[in-house]
A = this chain, B = another copy of it.
Amino acid sequence: MNTKAPLTVDVEFLRRFLEGERASVREKGREFAAHPALRLKPEWNLERKRQATLEGTVALANAGFTTLAMPEHMGGPEDYAGYVAGFEELVLAEPSIQIKAGVQYGLFSGAIHHLGNKNQHERWLKDALEGKLLGSFAMTEIGHGSDVANVDTTATYDPKQQEFVIHTPHRQAVKEYIGNAAAHAQAAVVFARLITCGIDYGVHAFFVPVRSEEGRPLPGVTIEDDGHKGGLLGVDNGRFGFDHVRIPLDHLLDRYGHVAEDGEYSSPIHSPGKRFFTMLGTLVMGRVSLDGASTVASKLALDIALRYAVERTQFEGGVPGQSVRLIDYGEHQRRLMPLVAKAWANSVAHESLLDTFDEVFRSENPPEATRQLLESQAAGFKAVSTWDALDTIQECREACGGAGFVWDNRLVGLRHDLDVYVTFEGDNTVLLQLVGKRLLQDYSRELKDIDFGGAARYLSHQAAEHSLYRTGLASVGRTIGDLFTPALASKRIRSGHLQEALLSSRVDSMLSDLAQKLRPATKMDRQAAADLFNTHQHQLIETAEAYIHLLKWQALTARLRDIDTSAHPDEAKLLRRIRDLYGLTIIHEHIGWHVMYGRLPMARARLVEPTIGRLCRKLALNAPDLAEMFGFTGEHRRTQISEGQEEARQNEARAYVRQARSRTDYPIDEKIIRAKRS
């Protein structure tokens, strides 16, 4: 059905080019993830799934993956970005293992690492990173999920015994959804309000043993099991309640808040708010890794769906007696190709996030602007990629028809497991508000004439974190005037300049419009300001999302610029198609805005849709390459529908028909007889 020829591309080159400097650590992660022992069987009960997940998590440490994260003073290379990258590929084996390992080596170990002192590292960190000391990260409470700055568990210092008393005052303060809690954790990093000398210093982290060596809850600790969930059945989530549980003074992870023996509190950060959010900031790795892992999951789903689409046929087409491959249907191309483009945009943007992450975590005192950018990007990228993953996996599942619903074809399980990625490590809706709030702060700083302190003050109550650092608003940068030169108005619809102009002018105008609308808040009382803000909450979130899309588009474009077009002309062309499809898809999702606000003349706007159609058709010509480019093997896909089974059966059917036709008793089609008669 396709008459145009596909591009001739070196898929290995492309993958490595797109994965960049962390390509080889990803390869190692994938190699590990290919191990068949890491698979959970759907018929196993919860207990067995949890046990197997634990074993996979420990195997990861045994294979040496976690030493990458060992601090320098303990002999580690402290290659966080490489560590995270390898880690993300674990989702290919089992999302449950990726998440349980994330809790153990990311959150639990990471909290000890970044919030604890060297002594505490020696005591707990090595064992934790080696999977010998199993632990939980206990922040969320029943009553406080998104709003963790206000958890209610208390840690009251008792100077007589030089101990903290960890206590759950009421049911809303029970720690909830805690990974590793229901079955395996021996200890937990518990977030609780530090109270000493009659003063509540806000939320700090404490190392709290929770189970005896025999695995029973320690005195005063109540553990409940969250039981069945919508996915991640290998992860043992549960609840912790504490009834006046005593821990020694030196179990306070005291990097940002120290208590002397006599109970005197000291901290390098004065502002209680800033202190807590600085602590949280050190734990950004979780979010970063979900951005990456969900993108890996999207690629896996696309790999399966593309391979199936190339084999599977349905309905006779232009050639009598010959069925059409799914990939040759215009609609099928429209369903899958934009998702391929999104997966690569998310992937390349993620690598840039890892660069920032590396920069911040490698330096003793990273520039505030970079830290700020990291937090904003981690929040926003994670929100967009995890939602994209759900859409992508679901579309792939549907694109495989009934076969997509069969467990062994992988897509449904992946969809179930990834579901909660949009909720944990910060609910997406809340994360985008955080991004939006920072855009507003920067905006008000850049345009000095606007002060919307009232709203901003209110906003800091509303967003999960706050910070005084600058976001990357500068990268939105140029004003509409700069961008919409007359020359641009005549550019081809696939022009990168035009795409950037549209994407960034949307962020610019939505943001300035929002700032104007929130301006009156400065002169309002708190309730009125809250109401005003609430009326524009949706716009704030939309603005944040537009900004994140722009950043992702820019990351993809920046990568594109690095390709040697004379050595790799077809590869460059393919990437250009992917980039353009990404840009135009995002623009098309908000085409109404671009037209309504006069950014795109109507006649030109009408070209976007058909251009997307053409790009999808062209990209579909390289569907097998696009699948191969993801870099997975049959061991990762573990499905039959993507490994030639369908084609083998079709050949068998064709052979049967050929043979049957030669028989004298082969029936004639009634239609032919009717046609002859008439």
Residues on A facing B (Cβ under 8 Å): 1, 3, 42-43, 45-46, 140, 142-147, 150, 152, 156, 169-173, 176-177, 195, 198-202, 226-231, 270-273, 314-320, 323, 328-331, 334-335, 390, 394, 397-398, 401-402, 404-408, 411-413, 415-416, 419-420, 422-424, 427-429, 458, 461-462, 526-531, 534-538, 541, 588, 590-598, 602, 605-606, 613, 617, 649-650, 652-653, 656, 660, 665, 667-671, 673-674
Tell me whether A140 and B402 are in contact (CB under 8 A): yes
Tell me whether B230 and A412 are in contact (CB under 8 A): yes
Give the Cβ gap from A246 to chain B, nearest Cβ, in Å: 18
Contacts of A528 in B (CB 8 A): 318
| Bound Cα distance A549, B354 (Å) | 44
**Copies assembled:** 2
Contacts of A407 in B (CB 8 A): 227-230
User: What DSSP secondary structure best describes chain A's contact surface?
Assistant: helix
Given known contacts A198-B668, A423-B402, is B331 in contact with A429 (CB within 8 Å)? yes
Tell me whether B315 and A652 are in contact (CB under 8 A): no
Q: Which of A228, A419, A420, A596 has the most CB of B within 10 A?
A: A596
Tell me whether B419 and A401 are in contact (CB under 8 A): no
Tell me whether B405 and A420 are in contact (CB under 8 A): yes
Tell me whether A318 and B530 are in contact (CB under 8 A): yes
Give the Cβ gap from A44 to chain B, nearest Cβ, in Å: 10
- Give A587's nearest chain B residue, CB to CB: B592
- Give A149's nearest chain B residue, CB to CB: B315
Given known contacts A172-B650, A407-B228, is B596 in contact with A591 (CB within 8 Å)? yes
Contacts of A408 in B (CB 8 A): 227-228
Given known contacts A408-B228, A412-B229, is B535 in contact with A330 (CB within 8 Å)? yes
Given A1-B534, A171-B653, A595-B596, 4 other A-B contacts at CB below 8 A? Answer: A319-B527, A331-B429, A402-B424, A592-B595
| Bound Cα distance A376, B1 (Å) | 29
Contacts of A195 in B (CB 8 A): 667
| Bound Cα distance A408, B230 (Å) | 9
Contacts of A402 in B (CB 8 A): 140, 145, 176-177, 420, 423-424
Give the Cβ gap from A3 to chain B, nearest Cβ, in Å: 8
